[in-house]
Copies of this chain bind each other. A is one copy, B any other.
Amino acid sequence: MKPTRVLIIGGGFGGVYTAITLEKHLKANDNVEVGLISKENYLVFQPMLPEVISGSIGILDTIAPIRRLCPKTNLYTREVESIDLKNKRVMTSAGFRPQTSQLEYDHLVIAVGNITSFSAQRGLAEHALPFKYLGDGLVLRNHVIRALEEADIESDSEFRRALLTFVVAGGGFSGVEAVAELNDFVRHAARSFRRINRAEIRVILLHAGPLILPELSENLGQFAQKLLQRRGVEIRLNTRLAGATGESALLDNGERVLTKTLVSTVPSAPNPLVASLPCKKEKGRIVVNKHLEVVDYPGVWAVGDCAWVVDHKTWQPCPPTAQHATRQAACLAKNLIASLRQEPKQAFSFEALGKLAALGHRSAVAEVFGVKLSGFVAWLLWRTIYLMKLPGLDRKLRVSTDWFLDLLLPPDIVQLKLDKTTSVIREHFEPHEIIFRQGDRGDRLYVIVEGEVELFQEGPDQVPHLLGRLGPGECFGEMALVNDKPRMATARSIARTNLLSVDQHAFGALFAYHPPLRRMFEALIDERRRSTAR
């Protein structure tokens, strides 16, 4: 007899704990085959992610290999491209070979979570660092060390201050935990940089409301706020991030904070996969019944941040937390098995046990079973609880060791250059910003997506002459790439401008080997030369 195929989509808490619970309760004579599709082959333990910034937990120790957590599940390390509820199949992305593949199911569990989306504010997608996935933690850590490295040898004092200013937007749980770790790390690490004046370091937390940590009760929020301020974090309350450029964070009061490091933890948006589904949704999340079944689609289930789960007892929608996702997953898995065995299903209800926020350097705030704690005791509780929750014995051992060594050793300041600079990137400029200066090294070609740019040249008389204005679809900066000479003009944005830029390497390769493209740019350069000469 063909086995019943259960397919889970998503490698977060919801998906992985569904697989774990299924493995635990399924018996051989249920004849069920479980598959799980996940973009990564590991589960990220989010609560410990901020400690990746400071390096107090080893990079790999906050993540657990999914294969070890649910060894009887077939893991597909793939991205999901589309879900076909009608024909009961899921299309996944290509691997080494450029071919998509298709997986069929009898039962489908949707646990795809939500995504980070910066699209609402200008310049954020281009210039803000997100903080949600493991990769984000690593990128941020290396970016911060790079900023310190640059500040150490920078002679221009304004630019050095921008390098030493670190801005975190969002005063909820993840923002507060991130700023606490970032602040501890930057101030401690800076001691190893002999030309950095530590008084120049600024760490700023932007928060839209009147008090940080709105998830907790007021006095805990106040405790956290005072503690962070005492440690040197500037907290800007009732202030929102309105946008960003390569050089600054733009606040909603019109102020511009010069910085090279802007972290934004706020925006999360519905997963496009969920948006594409025909089923009923509430605030972008999939509506499920009390058994966690998707309404009108028998055999389809949803769990975690992508699901709209109403608590059976309180009639309140569940918040998107790991606590809820794991409990929902356990309930879902049992109901799924019950439906296969035609047994009665249970309704989902769960009261959160507590909330904890780490504040770095042996301090935390906690609200557990109605008891409020702060400081060292809360920190001990934080570490105990999360160490218990961390999946896998090997990770528990590794993290305990990390914490022990962290007591003895200074923070790590090695900068891993992991991210190859991608050849084509987008950049955002506010009006009247310099894109490049005459005399700079020419390392990129720019195409205007929207906005307007003016080019001017300073002659020997030091008077700038306007060379021209360019609009959408036009390109500039190609001359320095072809000649390998410094920029012959300065480019400045007139309006708010979005640019696409291509680096020297990609441009050079294409230019050299694709004659039509070369001819196109040669014609363009000729034209520019003639208009400059005039």
Q: Mark A385-418, 1 if CB is under 8 A from B, else 0.
A: 0000000001001100100010011101111111
A155 to chain B, nearest CB (A): 9
Does A505 lie at the interface of the complex (its beta carbon under 8 Å from any beta carbon of B)?
Answer: yes
Task: Check A76 for interface membership: any CB of B closer than 8 A.
Answer: yes
Residue A422 CB within 8 A of the other chain: yes
Judging by beta carbons under 8 Å apart, are A135 and B414 in contact? no
Is A95 engaged at the interface, CB distance under 8 Å to the other chain? yes
In which size bucket is the chain A interface?
35 or more
- Residues of B within 8 Å of A370, CB to CB, are none
**Contact A410 B394, beta carbon cutoff 8 Å:** yes
Decide if A436 touches B98 in the complex (CB within 8 Å): yes
Residues of B within 8 A of A516 (CB): 520, 524
Question: Which of A63, A98, A405, A475 has the most C-beta atoms of chain B within 10 angstroms of its own C-beta?
Answer: A98
Q: Interface-forming stretch among A18-26, A144-152, A266-274, A297-305?
A: A144-152
A41 in contact with B415 given A95-B150, A514-B475 (CB within 8 Å): yes
Q: Is A100 an interface residue (CB 8 A)?
A: yes
A277 interfacial contact with B, CB 8 Å: no
Quick one: closest B residue to A450, CB to CB?
B513
The CA-CA distance from A130 to B401 in the complex, in Å, is 32
Task: From A54-62, A232-240, A374-382, give the one contacting chain B.
Answer: A54-62
A192 at interface, CB cutoff 8 A: yes
A42 touches B398 (CB 8 A): no
Complex: how many Å from CA A413 to CA B416?
Answer: 20
Contact of A500 among B153, B192, B195, B509 (CB under 8 A): B509
Assess whether A466 is interfacial by the CB under 8 Å rule: no
Cα-based distance from A409 to B400 in the complex (angstroms):
14
Which residues 498-521 of A sit at the B interface, judged by CB distance below 8 A?
500, 502, 505-506, 509-510, 513-517, 520
Chain B residues positioned under 8 Å from A72 (CB to CB): 194
Question: In chain A between 425 and 475, which residues have their CB closer than 8 angstroms to a CB of chain B?
Answer: 426, 436, 439-443, 447-449, 472-473, 475
Query: Any chain B CB within 8 A of the CB of A346?
Result: no
A153-B413 contact given A58-B60, A502-B510, A506-B424, CB 8 Å threshold: no
Q: How far apart are A515's CB and chain B's nearest CB, in angstroms?
A: 4
Closest to A519 in B: B520
Partner of A67, one of B74, B100, B192, B440: B192
**Chain B minimum-CB-distance residue to A412:** B60
Question: How far, in Å, is A445 (CB) from chain B's closest CB?
Answer: 10
Q: Is A2 an interface residue (CB 8 A)?
A: no
Chain B residues with CB below 8 A from A41, complex form: 145, 149, 413-415
Q: In the bound complex, what is the Cα–Cα distance between A135 and B409 (angstroms)?
A: 24
Q: How many copies does the complex hold?
A: 2
A276 to chain B, nearest CB (A): 16
Q: Smallest Cβ distance from A383 to chain B, in angstroms? A: 19
A443 to B94, CA, bound (A): 10
A280 within 8 A of partner (CB): no
Q: Which residue in B101, B401, B420, B424 is a CB contact (below 8 Å) of A509? A: B424
Pair B74/A194 contact, Cβ less than 8 Å? yes
* A505 contact set on B, CB distance < 8 A: 424
Are A441 and B506 in contact (CB-based, < 8 A)?
no
Q: Does A193 contact B (CB under 8 A)?
A: yes
Complex Cα distance, B96 from A146, in Å, reads 9
Interface: A121 (CB within 8 A): no
Q: Are A55 and B65 in contact (CB under 8 A)?
A: no
Out of B42, B398, B408, which one reaches A405, CB within 8 Å? B398
- Chain B residues with Cβ under 8 A from A408's Cβ? 394, 397
**Residues 189-216 of A contacting B (Cβ, < 8 Å):** 192-195
**Least Cβ–Cβ distance between A58 and chain B, in angstroms:** 5
If A74-B195, A96-B163, A510-B502 touch, whether A422 touches B419 (CB-CB below 8 Å) is no
Residues of B within 8 A of A442 (CB): 98
Shortest beta-carbon contacts, A-B, top 5:
A423-B423, A424-B506, A42-B414, A77-B149, A394-B409
**CB pairs A–B below 8 angstroms (20 shown):** A40-B414, A58-B59, A59-B416, A63-B414, A67-B193, A68-B410, A74-B194, A77-B150, A77-B415, A96-B146, A96-B163, A97-B159, A401-B401, A424-B510, A447-B514, A448-B513, A473-B514, A475-B514, A500-B509, A516-B524
Q: Which residues of chain A have a CB within 8 Å of any CB of chain B?
A: 40-42, 55, 58-60, 63-65, 67-68, 71-72, 74-78, 94-101, 134-135, 138, 145-146, 149-150, 152-154, 159, 163, 192-195, 260, 394, 397-398, 401, 405, 408-410, 412-420, 422-424, 426, 436, 439-443, 447-449, 472-473, 475, 500, 502, 505-506, 509-510, 513-517, 520, 524
